[in-house]
Each structure stands twice: as C-alpha cells, then as structure tokens.
Chain A
Amino acid sequence: MNGILPPKPHQKKKRVRNWIILIIIGVIYVWAFKGVYDRADWSIFNNLGEKFERVIPKLFNPDWSQTEKVWDYIIETIFIAYAGTLIAAILAIPFGFWAAKNMVKSPIWNTLGKWILILDRTFPELILAILFVITIGPGPFAGVLTIGLTAFGMLGKLYAEIIESIDMKVVEAMEANGANKIQILFYAIFPQVLPEFLSFALYRFEIDIRASTILGLVGAGGIGTLIVIAAANRNWEQLGLILLGIIVVVSIIDFISTKIRKRLV
C-alpha cells in the first residue's frame, strides 16, 4: 500500500507556521488553566452533597403560589424584547441600505456604514444597559433601549448582505422605465428583501428574549430582576418556578417563530 501512494509533500514553511500556532495555543492554555487553578476556591467541593440536598429538591419543587408574579415578569421580558427588536428592525433598514455595496456609490461612505454596524455589534448588552440605567433611570424602558441599540448592529449587517444579493436587473429595468427612487424602493427592492428581513427580525427576537433576561441584573427590568431577588433570598422554590417558566415560554416562542420563518422564506 505504501509503495503505491506518492509521499506527502513537505512544506517546511507551513510546518513551521503550524508549530508556532500550536505553541501559542499551548501557552494560552497553560496560562488560562494555571490562572483558574490558582484563583479557584477548591474548598467548595467539601460537603457538596449537603449543599445539593438542600437546594436541588427545592429547585424541582416549584412554588406554584408565585405563578402570577413570575408570569408578570416573564411577560415584561417578552415586551422588552419585542419593543426592542422592532426598534432595531426598523433602525436597521436605513443602516442596511447604507452598508450595502450595491446601494451606495461612494466606497468610503459605504465602509463607514459597515464600521458603525461592526462597532455596535461589539458592545456587550450589559455595558449599554448600565449606561442607560444611569442616564435615564432604572426600569424596563432602559431595557427596551438597550435591546434596540444592541440588536440593530447584527440586523443591519444581515440586511446589508440580503440587499447585496438582490437581482439588480429589476432595479435597472425600472430605472430604464423612468421610475423614481421611491418607486424603485417599493416595487423593485422591497418585494425581494422583505421576507428575509422579517425572517431575520424574528430570529433576532428569539435571541433578544434570552438577552433581555440578563437586563434585570443592573435594574433594566425583566425576569432578571426576580432571579436576583430570589437568589438573594435563597428562595429556591421560586427559582425553580422561574426556570420552568423560562424553559416553557422560550421553547414555545422558538417553536412558533421557527414555523413562521419557514413559511416566510
């Protein structure tokens, strides 16, 4: 068998590069694992069984009398995610056109649009949430603004990619017929992109429901508020109910949203 196959080509340069990458990764791993090993408090593994016994049975025994309270907070989370996503979906349309190569003639202007979207995507939600809570005060409104401003970066990028992939012949045909810019927008571009726009907005809504659960940590509303309170009061039965509620609600929303998205595209 070995005699039949030609020997593998040896590329010295590539091999050296691979070794360097391997060494760098190795150094990062040693650094990270050693750091974690030194920082970790290993004594928490003592009397672990006792802690488990105290918490786990209560976690799986939800306190049903709190259903109404938990439900209110979950609904608030959904409202935050919905309002935020819609703001983002609308805000992302002009930015999507701005960042699409075939819509903007000047490349510098186009790159600027792309950069704004990249910058927005790097912002972690919690940072913006902190800024909004400090400036406009705690409450779900800060959460709505946070979701709206963090979601539009990703949506804008996806929208730009969709717009770049449309059939430009339709646009040219309408231009040749003497259609103005608004007519081209409504009759040539929107019919091609709207289903995908909606589909991505729905997808982002699924993400935002999960994202808006953490807003409560800094006082920006949603179920996070209740999670923090329940954990602080060691109210594990309530935490169990929250866990169950989130799993059920998020599963249902994911299911419906996937169904709608499949029909859209």
Chain B
Amino acid sequence: MTEKNNKQNSNVYSLYPRKLKTQISIIFLIVILFYFYSLSETGSDFLTLFLDFPDIVKKLASMFPPNWEYIPLAIDPLVETIQIAVVATTFSVLICIPASLLAANTITTNKFIYQITRTFLNILRTIPDILLATIFVSLFGIGIIPGILALTIFSLGLLAKLLSETIETIDARQLDAIRSTGGNIVQVIWYGVVPQVLPQFISYGLYVFELNVRASLVLGFVGAGGIGTIIDTQLNFLKYQNVMAILIVLLVAVIIIETISNMLRRRVV
C-alpha cells in the first residue's frame, strides 16, 4: 500500500483506503448523474431562472401589497381549519391507542396479530393526505366530514407508528413484575405501560396536531373544507393580492400554533 500510494518526491499518505475511495466516488457519480437526469426530466433550468429574475420579481410584486381588507374574510376559514385539526387529532389519538398496543411486541405476544397490524399501519402510512382526502370526498361528498376522516386516517398511521415504537423500547422488567404478581393485561398496560409512555404520547399528539393544521390546508383544494377552499378560489380568479393576504394570515397562525406546541412539548418531555 505504501509503495502504491507514495508518489515521487512526496510522503503524503491518504487517510482512506483505496477501495473505499473508489466505492464512494462511484456512488457519488451515480447520485450526481441521477440528479442531472431528474433536473432535465422535470424541466428545471436554473440558468433561465437567473436570466428571468427581473420578470420573477415583477410577478412577485403583483402579489404586493397584500389586500389587507380581505383578512377578515379569511379568519372564519382559518378557524374552521383549526377546528378540523383539533377534532381529527382527537379521533386519531383515541384510535391509535389500541392500534399501537397491537403493533408493539412487548404487549402483543401473538406474532400473527402483531405482523398484520404492522403491515396494515405501514400501508396506511404510504397513502398521501391528498389521496385520502380525494377518496373520502368522492365517498361522502363535499364538506368537512370527509376532511376530518381523511386527516384522522392520515395521522393515525404516523401516530400509531411513533407510539408503538415507544412502547417497544420501554423497560419490559416493569411489565414482567406486574405480570408475576398476577396483574391482568389491563393492569399491565395501566400501571406498566402508561406511566412510561405518557410524556412521549402527549408530545406526539401535539406534533401530529401541528402536522394536521398544515395538512388541512390541502383539504380545501379537493373540497373538504378549511382555508384551502378560499385559497383555491382566489387563485383561480387570479386575485394574487388576496392570496397573499390569506397566506400571511395562515403563516402567522402556523407560527403561533407551533410556538405554543413547542413550549408545551418541552415542558412535558
């Protein structure tokens, strides 16, 4: 190795073995090539982006100043969005408790049930929120009920995964102790599992609530209620100043909710 790496008149050694170097170079090359391929496939052209810069600024300027008078009209849909998110989070939190107990191998010793719930939850998580909303709107019709159902299902997959993984990492000796003193399954869960996972559980619930507030923005575009509805109509009317006003209201609301939720989460965990 020293002979190979020693070039003439130099005593510089490479820190990395040659095999690792070629391996990394090849992977790097593939990553970059695929990057350029996807850029060309998506029609991404950064050169024209920079050349068109004045044009872009002009279009951005057409959104300013935001139409402040529109803001009162945006408050009610925003309230609706938050209410949808609260209700959907509540439902998914309630459903996720049995689901995550079934998907945790510390509680569910039956391999078959465990695998079935796991697979089901994994499939649930692959379905994007927009598709769930579309399907529920087509099943139930337009309104906020399909929106709530879509968000409930969407957050259920995530929440159950987080919670079941937490339940799997808890101290199993405590559960054994309760079992050995003759505790039944309900007592094991209530006295063994709940005290250990409750802080994380609350934290996940808040996190999912944040996600739901963002996701409920999507709902309106497919007719499932919330602030997305008015964004969609104003976009279609090309009323960009109104859109900007709604976006600002929404951003302020999201920042406030996330700040409060972060504060609460830091206290809980």
> Contact residues of A with B, CB < 8 Å?
28-29, 31-33, 35-36, 39-42, 44-45, 48, 51-52, 55-56, 59, 75-76, 78-80, 82-83, 86, 122-127, 130-131, 134-136, 139-141, 143-145, 187, 191, 210, 213-214, 216-218, 221, 224, 227-228, 231, 234, 236, 239, 242-243, 246-247, 250-251, 254
**What's the A-B contact tally at a CB cutoff of 8 Å?**
173
Do residues A134 and B59 form an inter-chain contact, with CB atoms below 8 A? yes
- B132-149 contacts to A (CB < 8 Å): 134-135, 137-146, 148
| Interfacial chain B residues near A40, Cβ < 8 Å | 143-145
The residue on A at minimum CB distance from B123 is A247
Could you tell me the distance in whole angstroms from the C-beta of A1 to the nearest C-beta in chain B? 13
Do residues A44 and B134 form an inter-chain contact, with CB atoms below 8 A? no
Bound-state Cα–Cα, A123 to B130, Å: 18
| Interfacial chain B residues near A48, Cβ < 8 Å | 140
**Which one of B49, B129, B131, B258 has the highest number of Cβ atoms from chain A below 10 Å of its Cβ?**
B131
The residue on B at minimum CB distance from A255 is B122
Interface residue from B86, B87, B126 paired with A250 (Cβ < 8 Å): B126
Q: Mark B194-225, 1 if CB is under 8 A from A, else 0.
A: 00000000000000000000100110011001
- B36-59 contacts to A (CB < 8 Å): 37-39, 41-45, 49, 52, 56, 59
> Contact residues of B with A, CB < 8 Å?
15, 31, 34-35, 37-39, 41-45, 49, 52, 56, 59-60, 62-63, 79-80, 82-84, 86-87, 90, 122-123, 126-131, 134-135, 137-146, 148, 214, 217-218, 221-222, 225, 228, 231, 235, 240, 243, 247, 250-251, 254-255, 258
Do residues A217 and B126 form an inter-chain contact, with CB atoms below 8 A? no
The A contact surface, by secondary structure, is: helix
Could you tell me the distance in whole angstroms from the C-beta of A183 to the nearest C-beta in chain B? 11
Q: A36-B83, A251-B123 are in contact. Are A234 and B138 (CB under 8 A)?
A: yes
Do residues A122 and B44 form an inter-chain contact, with CB atoms below 8 A? no
Bound-state Cα–Cα, A184 to B26, Å: 24
Supply 9 A–B pairs (Cβ within 8 Å), ascending by A: A32-B90, A33-B87, A35-B79, A36-B83, A41-B144, A44-B146, A79-B42, A82-B35, A228-B221
Bound-state Cα–Cα, A123 to B250, Å: 10
Do residues A242 and B243 form an inter-chain contact, with CB atoms below 8 A? no
Do residues B258 and A217 form an inter-chain contact, with CB atoms below 8 A? no
**Which one of B128, B143, B218 has the highest number of Cβ atoms from chain A below 10 Å of its Cβ?**
B128
New A-B pairs, 13, CB < 8 Å, besides A44-B146, A75-B41, A217-B218: A36-B83, A44-B140, A44-B143, A52-B139, A55-B138, A123-B251, A127-B250, A131-B247, A134-B60, A217-B222, A218-B221, A218-B235, A242-B131
Do residues A251 and B145 form an inter-chain contact, with CB atoms below 8 A? no
Do residues A231 and B86 form an inter-chain contact, with CB atoms below 8 A? no
Could you tell me the distance in whole angstroms from the C-beta of A114 to the nearest C-beta in chain B? 13
Bound-state Cα–Cα, A118 to B143, Å: 33
Do residues A44 and B43 form an inter-chain contact, with CB atoms below 8 A? no
**Which one of A55, A130, A139 has the highest number of Cβ atoms from chain B below 10 Å of its Cβ?**
A130
Bound-state Cα–Cα, A228 to B128, Å: 13
The residue on A at minimum CB distance from B89 is A32
Do residues A141 and B42 form an inter-chain contact, with CB atoms below 8 A? yes
Q: A35-B83, A39-B80, A39-B225 are in contact. Are A83 and B128 (CB under 8 A)?
A: no
The residue on B at minimum CB distance from A140 is B42
Bound-state Cα–Cα, A83 to B14, Å: 32
Do residues B127 and A243 form an inter-chain contact, with CB atoms below 8 A? yes
